[in-house]
Amino acid sequence: MSALLEIEDLNVTFNTRYGAVTALDSVSLHVNAGETLGVVGESGCGKSITALSVMGLIPSPPGRIAGGSIRLNGEELTTASPARMRAIRGAEAAMIFQEPMTSLNPVFTVGAQIAEAIMLHQKVGADQAMRAAVALLDRVGIPSPDARARDYPHQLSGGMRQRVMIAMAVSCRPKMLIADEPTTALDVTVQAQIFDLLNEIQRDFGAAIVLITHDMGAIAEMADRVAVMYAGRVIEGATADDVLDHPQHPYARGLIDCIPNIAKGDAALREIPGVVPPLHLLGAGCAFAARCAHANNRCHTEKPKLAAHGHHPAACHAVQEGRI
Amino acid sequence: MTASFFIRRIAYGLLLMLGVVILNFLLIRLAPGDPAVVIAGEMGGIDAQMLAAIRADYGLDKPLPTQLWIYLSNVVQGNLGESFFFNQPVATLISARIGPTILLVLTAQVLSIVIGMFLGVIAARKPNGPLSGFVSVFATIGYAVPVFWTGIMLVILFASVFPIFPVEGMRSVRLRDAGPIAQFFDVAHHLVLPAFTLAIIYLAQYARLSRASMMDVLGSDYIRTARAKGATEQSVLFKHALRNAALPILTVAGLQFGNLISGALLVETVFNWPGMGRLAFDSILRRNYPTVLGVLFFAAAMVVAANILTDLSYRWADPRLRGRE
Amino acid sequence: MTEPTVPEPYVAESPGREAWRMYSRNRTALFGLGLLFVILAITFYGSFFYAGDAYDIVWAPHEPPMVTPEFPLGTDYLGRDIVTGMLKGGGPTMAVGAAAALITMVIGVSLGALAGFYGGWIDTALMRFTEFFQVLPALLFAMVLVTLFSPSLWTIAFAIGVVSWPQTARLTRAEFMKIKELEYVTAARAIGAKNTRIIWKVILPNAAPPLIVSAALTIGVAILFEAGLSFLGLGDPNVMSWGLMIGANRDQLLDAWWPVTFPGLAIFLTVLAVSLVGDGLNDAFNPKLRER
C-alpha cells in the first residue's frame, strides 16, 4: 500500500545575501492515511519549510524547490500547475499555523473566513456556506457558534482563534492536515484542549496529521511515528515509541533529555548546548558535530547518511560505528 | 454606540469651527490699522459714511467681547459680511463657488487614492521590479514639484502641443444652453487637467505608501492562511490584503485633505477654475478681508467634514476600532 | 630610523560619525547633497558674476533662450534677464525656506516636547490646539496672515512657520512619550535632575534623529510654500524670487515657455535636493529600514 503523502529527496534552496543556501537537504518522509506523523526539531531545522513545500506555499522568490518529489495520493505536487495547487490547498491538504493571533484576517468575521474556505472548494451558496461554518464552529467546541461566527478575530481569545483555524482547516474534510506548532503560542491548559480536539477531529474525519513541534511531550501524546529534523535534514525516523524510548542520534537523545521527568525525581530543565548553525555556515560534515559530545574527525568532514543500524534509522556516524 | 460616537464627533467639529470663527475675528483685530478700514478693504474711494456703516454693523465702538458676540451671531445666521468689491454678501459669493472647488478636490482625492493604490499594489508584488523603482522615483519627484508649476507645464503642453483638453475654466461658452448630458461631459472634459495636476503629488505619495503597506500586509500570517485555503491570487491581493493595506492610506488621505485644499487654491488659479481658490486669490489682491476670511471658514469646514468622514470610514473599515474610542 | 607605530586605541564611533558613514554609502543621498551644494554655490557665487538688478529691463522682451549669448536663458515679458532673476531669486527663496523651517521647528518642538513630557491636561490642551491648526488649510491661512501683516521676507517666513508646525509637534510628542519611559530617563530622575534638564539634556538629544530628518523635509515644504505665495503675488514685492518670476510671467505663458519653465525647474531641483538629503538622513539614522 502506498502512503498518502510521500516526500522523496526534497531539496529546497533560498537565495539570501550570503548566496543560495540549502534549507532542506534530501528530505524524505512519508505519511500513511489516518496516522499522525510528528516532525520535531528546534526552530530553524526546516520543519515549517517542509510543511510549506507540501502546501506549495514556499515564498518564491527567494525560495525554490530545487529537487526531489512530493506526492499526495500519488499525484506529483512539485510540478503541479498553480491552479491545481490552489484546488488542492484547503481541500485535500490543509494547514494550521503557529500564531492564531495573527493568522486570521482582522477585517473579516471568523464565520466569513470559514465560509470562504468552503466556497472556494465546494459549489455552495453563501448562506449554505455560512450555515456550514456555524456547524463547524460548533464541532470544534466553540460555545454559541451562531454569535461567534459574526465576531471578528480580535474579539476571540487565542485558544478560540486556534479552534477557528482548525474549523477552517477541516471545513473541506482534507485527507491531510498539517499542524505547524499549533499550540506554541497558547497557554498550557489550552494546549491540552487543542491536542484533544485534534485527536477527535482525526478520529471523526479520518485525516492524517503532520504535527510539527519542538515539544517532545506533544509527540508522546499525539504521534504514531516521528521524524527528527536538524539543519534541513531528517536525522532519525521511527515509530514514536521507538524514538522516545531508544533515541539513537545524539541530537534526539538531547531532545528527549530535555523533557523534565518528574516521575524519576528529576525536575531539572536541561538543554542542548549551543544553537542550530545558520544554514549558510553549514560545512561538509555533520551539522550537529559542533554541539555533539561524540563527534570525531569523520563527523566534521563527512555528512552521515540516514541508515538503519541496530534499532532504527539514524543519520549519525557514531551510532553507525557503534561508538554510542 | 456608533451613533453616539458620530454625535460626539460632530460636536467636536462644531467646536473646532467655533475656534475658526474666533480666529477670524481676532485676525481682523490683530491686523495693523483701523478694523473698519480692514473690513472695507483697501479699495479706492472709501468714504466716511461707509466706514460709519461698517462700524455700526460690526459694533466696532463697543467693547471687544460684545464685538465678538455680534460677529458670532452674524456667522451663525449665515452672515459672513459683505464684499464691497463684488457688492454681494460673502456667503452668496462663496456658495456660488464652493461647488466647483468640492468637485475638483474630491475628483483629485479619488483619482490619487485609486490610481496610487493600484500602482502601489502592483509594485508590492515585485518589491525590486521596475514598477517599484518607478513608484519610488515618481514619489520623490512628485513631492518636490511645485503643484502650480506642474499645472503651468501641462497648460503649455496641452494648449500648444496636444490641444485635446481645455486648459481654462470649467465650461465651454458655446455649450451654455446644451442639455445636461452634454454639460456633464463638458465639465468632465475641463476637469481632466486641473484634477490630474492636483492629484499627481498625492498619487505619488499614496503609491509609495500603499506599496510599503502592501508589502507589510503580504508578509503577514493571515495572507498565508488565505493562500493555504486555496484562495486565488486576485482574491489574496484585492480582498484579503488590500482592505488591510488601505487602512494607513485612509489615515493619510484624511490628514492630507487640508493640503489638498491648499493645492486646489493654486491649481484653480492656474486653470482659471471658478472655485473658492480663485475667489480667495482675487479677494486677497483687492484686500477684501471678509471674503478671504469667509473662504478660510468654508475651507476649514470642508476639512472638518472630511475628518469626520475619515473617522467614520476608518471605523467601518477596521472592525478593531468599533465599540472603542 | 622610523618611529615605532603605536596602535590606535579603539574608540567607539560617535553617533554623528556613524550616521555619516551610513549616509555616505547611500548614492541617492550623496547625489542630493551634491545637488544642494551645487545649487547653493551657483546662487551664491553666480550673483557676483551677474551683478545687475533682477528687475532691470536689459533687452527686448521674450528673447528665447540660447539665441543671444548674453542672455542664455532668454528674457521675460518685460525684457528682464532670466539668468539674473534666477541667481538673485534663489537666495531669498532658500533663506525664507530655512527661516520658516527654523520657526516651524522651534514652535513644533517646544509644544510637542511639553505635551509629550508632561502628558495629562497639558497634553490634551496642546493636542486640541494642534488639531485646531490642522483644520486650517495651510496655504490659505498663510495667505491670510501674509496679506494682513503685509508681505516681507520676515512675515512670509513667520506665516509659513505658523501654519506648518503641527506635524512637527505631533512627531516630537510621540518621540518624547516613547523616550520618557526609558531607563536612562528614570535614572536621571533618580539622581534628582530637574524637569527642564531632563527635557533639554536627556530626552531632546535622544529624540534628535527623527527631528533632524523632519527639519530637512520641512525646509523642502517651506520652499514650496514660499514659491506658492510668491507665485500668487504675495511675496515680498521688493525681492526677486523664483515663484514671483513664474507668477509674473504666467499670463504670457503661451507666448513664451521659458520664463515660467526655468524658475520652476530651479524650485523643483532645490526641493528635490533637500528631500533627498532628508531621506538619506532618515536611512542613515535607521539602517534597519533601508531594505525597503
A276 located within any domain: yes
Q: What is the pLDDT of residue C159?
A: 92
Q: Which of residues 259-278 of C touch B (CB under 8 A)?
A: 260-261, 264, 267-269, 271-272, 275-276
Q: What is the pLDDT of residue B112?
A: 93
Domain match, A132 and A181 both? no
Domain match, A200 and A141 both? no
Q: Is B265 on the interface with C (CB under 8 A)?
A: yes
Q: How many whole angstroms separate alpha carbon C48 and alpha carbon C52? A: 9
Give the DSSP H/E element, type plus range, for residue C127: helix C120-135
Is-contact C97 C222, C-beta < 8 A?
A: yes
The CA-based angle A108-A113-A114, given to 5 degrees, is 155
Q: How many whole angstroms separate alpha carbon B141 and alpha carbon C179? A: 34
Residues of B with CB under 8 A from a CB of A: 220-222, 224-233, 240, 243-244, 317-320
Q: What value does the mean pLDDT of chain C take?
A: 83
Q: What is the chain B residue with the closest CA to C128?
A: B16
Nearest to B280 among C140, C227, C279 (CB): C140
Q: What are the grid coordinates assigned to B238, written together?
A: 484585492
Contact: B230, A168; criterion CB under 8 Å: no
Asked if pLDDT for residue C3 goes beyond 70, the answer is: no
Q: What is the pLDDT of residue B32?
A: 73
Asked if pLDDT for residue C172 goes beyond 90, the answer is: yes
Domain match, A112 and A169 both? yes
E strand spans, C70-183 = none
Q: How many whole angstroms separate alpha carbon B116 and alpha carbon B199? A: 9
More confident residue, C3 or A309: A309
Q: How many whole angstroms separate alpha carbon A152 and alpha carbon C11? A: 54
Q: How many whole angstroms separate alpha carbon C176 and alpha carbon C170? A: 10
Is-contact A20 A227, C-beta < 8 A?
A: no
- Structural domain boundaries, residue A133: 102-173
Q: Is B156 on the interface with C (CB under 8 A)?
A: yes
Asked if pLDDT for residue C181 goes beyond 60, the answer is: yes
- Read off the amino acid at residue A32: N
Contact: A95, B231; criterion CB under 8 Å: no
Q: What is the pLDDT of residue A248?
A: 76
Contact: B228, A120; criterion CB under 8 Å: no
A97 located within any domain: no
Give every strand in the sheet of A19-31, ordered side by side.
A19-31, A5-16, A63-72, A75-76
Question: What's the whole-number mean pLDDT along residues C170-190?
Answer: 87
Q: How many whole angstroms separate alpha carbon C152 and alpha carbon B86? A: 28
Chain B residues near residue C253 by CB distance under 8 angstroms: 152, 155-156
Residue C128: partners with Cβ closer than 8 Å, 6 or more residues away: none
pLDDT in tens, B138-156: 888 888 899 999 999 998 8
Domain match, A121 and A187 both? no
A203 located within any domain: yes
Nearest to B296 among C144, C260, C272 (CB): C144
Is-contact C76 C245, C-beta < 8 A?
A: yes
A54: Cα within 13 Å, side-chain hemisphere: 30
Nearest to B230 among A86, A104, A106 (CB): A86
Report the CATH number of the C35-48+72-291 domain: 1.10.3720.10
Beta bridge partners of A19: A16
Contact: B230, A89; criterion CB under 8 Å: yes
Contact: B265, C143; criterion CB under 8 Å: yes
Contact: B244, A106; criterion CB under 8 Å: yes
Say if B and A touch: at least 3 Cβ pairs within 8 Å: yes
Q: What are the grid coordinates assigned to B163, written together?
A: 490641444
Q: What is the pLDDT of residue A1?
A: 46
Q: What is the chain A residue with the closest CA to B319?
A: A107
Is-contact B253 B310, C-beta < 8 A?
A: yes
Q: What is the pLDDT of residue B303?
A: 92
Q: How many whole angstroms separate alpha carbon C43 and alpha carbon C242? A: 12
The domain that contains A255 carries what CATH number? 3.40.50.300
Residue B179: partners with Cβ closer than 8 Å, 6 or more residues away: none
Question: How far off is chain B from A31, nearest CA to CA, in Å?
Answer: 19
Asked if pLDDT for residue C30 goes beyond 50, the answer is: yes
Model confidence at C207, pLDDT cuts 50, 70, 90, reads confident
Taking residue B247's Cβ as centre, other Cβ atoms within 10 Å add up to 17
Buried b (16+ CB within 10 A) or exposed e, A200-230: ebbeeeebbbbbbbbbbebbbbbbbbbbbbb
Is-contact B201 A140, C-beta < 8 A?
A: no
Tell me whether the omega of the peptide bond preceding residue A62 falls within 30 degrees of 0, making it cis: yes
Disruptive mutation site among A72, A85, A107 for chain B (greatest number of B CBs within 10 Å) = A107
Nearest to C253 among B152, B215, B266 (CB): B152
Domain match, A117 and A242 both? no
Q: What is the pLDDT of residue C13?
A: 63
Among A310-314, B40-44, B129-133, B206-210, the range scoring the smallest mean pLDDT is B40-44
Question: How far off is chain B from A87, nearest CA to CA, in Å?
Answer: 6
Is-contact A35 A224, C-beta < 8 A?
A: yes
Is-contact C243 C200, C-beta < 8 A?
A: no
What are the residue boundaries of the structural domains of chain B, listed by start? 3-90, 98-274
Is-contact B226 B140, C-beta < 8 A?
A: no
Which sign, positive or negative, has the C-alpha torsion C273, C279, C281, C283? negative
Asked if pLDDT for residue B221 goes beyond 80, the answer is: yes
**Superfamily of structural domain B98-274:** MetI-like (1.10.3720.10)
Is-contact C76 C85, C-beta < 8 A?
A: yes
Disruptive mutation site among C31, C93, C127, C136 for chain B (greatest number of B CBs within 10 Å) = C136
Q: Is B304 on the interface with C (CB under 8 A)?
A: yes
Among A34-48, B236-250, B269-283, C59-73, the range scoring the smallest mean pLDDT is C59-73
For chain C, percent of residues with pLDDT exceeding 70: 93
Chains that touch A (3 or more CB pairs under 8 A): B
Taking residue B55's Cβ as centre, other Cβ atoms within 10 Å add up to 16
Domain match, A68 and A182 both? yes
Q: What is the pLDDT of residue A234?
A: 81
Tally of domains within chain A? 2
Domain match, A139 and A219 both? no
Q: Is C55 on the interface with B (CB under 8 A)?
A: no
Contact: A89, B244; criterion CB under 8 Å: no
Chain A residues near residue B317 by CB distance under 8 angstroms: 107
The closest of A137, A153, A133 to A145, measured between CA atoms, is: A137
Q: What is the pLDDT of residue B325?
A: 40
Q: How many residues does chain A have?
A: 324
Contact: B146, C264; criterion CB under 8 Å: yes
Q: How many whole angstroms separate alpha carbon C241 and alpha carbon B146? A: 14
Q: What is the chain B residue with the closest CA to A150?
A: B319
Between the alpha carbon of residue C101 and those of residues C97, C98, C104, C105, C159, the distances in Å are 6, 5, 5, 6, 11
Contact: C137, B258; criterion CB under 8 Å: yes
Q: Is C70 on the interface with B (CB under 8 A)?
A: no
Is-contact A31 A4, C-beta < 8 A?
A: yes
The end-to-end CA distance of chain C, in Å, is 54
Is-contact A65 A12, C-beta < 8 A?
A: yes
Contact: B140, C279; criterion CB under 8 Å: yes
pTM: 0.82
Is-contact B209 B248, C-beta < 8 A?
A: yes
Q: Is A234 helix (H, G, I), strand (E, B) or coil?
A: strand
Say if B and C touch: at least 3 Cβ pairs within 8 Å: yes
Nearest to B262 among C139, C144, C233 (CB): C139
For chain B, percent of residues with pLDDT exceeding 70: 96
Q: How many whole angstroms separate alpha carbon A222 and alpha carbon A183? A: 13
More confident residue, A320 or C123: C123
Contact: B156, C257; criterion CB under 8 Å: yes
Q: What is the chain B residue with the closest CA to C257?
A: B156
Q: What is the pLDDT of residue A167?
A: 87
Contact: A104, B225; criterion CB under 8 Å: yes
Q: How many whole angstroms separate alpha carbon C278 and alpha carbon C280? A: 5
Conformational region of residue B63, where left means phi above 0, alpha means psi within -120 to 50, and beta covers everything else: beta
Q: Residue-wise pLDDT tens for chain A (324 aa)?
A: 468 888 888 888 888 777 778 888 888 888 888 888 888 887 778 888 888 888 888 887 788 888 888 888 888 888 888 888 888 888 888 888 888 888 889 889 998 999 988 888 888 888 888 988 898 888 888 888 888 888 898 888 888 888 898 888 888 888 888 888 888 777 778 888 888 888 888 888 888 888 888 888 788 888 888 888 888 888 787 777 777 777 777 777 777 777 766 555 555 556 777 777 777 777 777 777 777 777 777 777 777 777 776 677 777 777 777 777
Give the DSSP H/E element, type plus range, for residue B152: helix B147-156
Asked if pLDDT for residue B322 goes beyond 90, the answer is: no
Asked if pLDDT for residue B31 goes beyond 80, the answer is: no
A263-277, B175-189, B272-286, C79-93: range with highest mean pLDDT: B272-286
Domain match, A197 and A72 both? yes
Residue B292: partners with Cβ closer than 8 Å, 6 or more residues away: B280, B283, B284, C143, C144, C147
Between the alpha carbon of residue C133 and those of residues B20, C128, C161, C167, C223, the distances in Å are 9, 9, 12, 10, 20
Cα radius of gyration (chain C): 23
Question: What's the whole-number mean pLDDT along residues C27-31?
Answer: 86
* Complex-level ipTM beyond the 0.85 threshold: yes
Question: What's the whole-number mean pLDDT along residues C230-248?
Answer: 86
Q: How many whole angstroms separate alpha carbon A102 and alpha carbon B250? A: 22
Q: How many whole angstroms separate alpha carbon A174 and alpha carbon B20? A: 63
Residue whose grid cell is 498518502? A4
Q: Is B316 helix (H, G, I), strand (E, B) or coil?
A: helix
Disruptive mutation site among B17, B141, B149, B205 for chain C (greatest number of C CBs within 10 Å) = B149
Domain match, A157 and A256 both? no
Chains that touch C (3 or more CB pairs under 8 A): B
Contact: B231, A86; criterion CB under 8 Å: yes
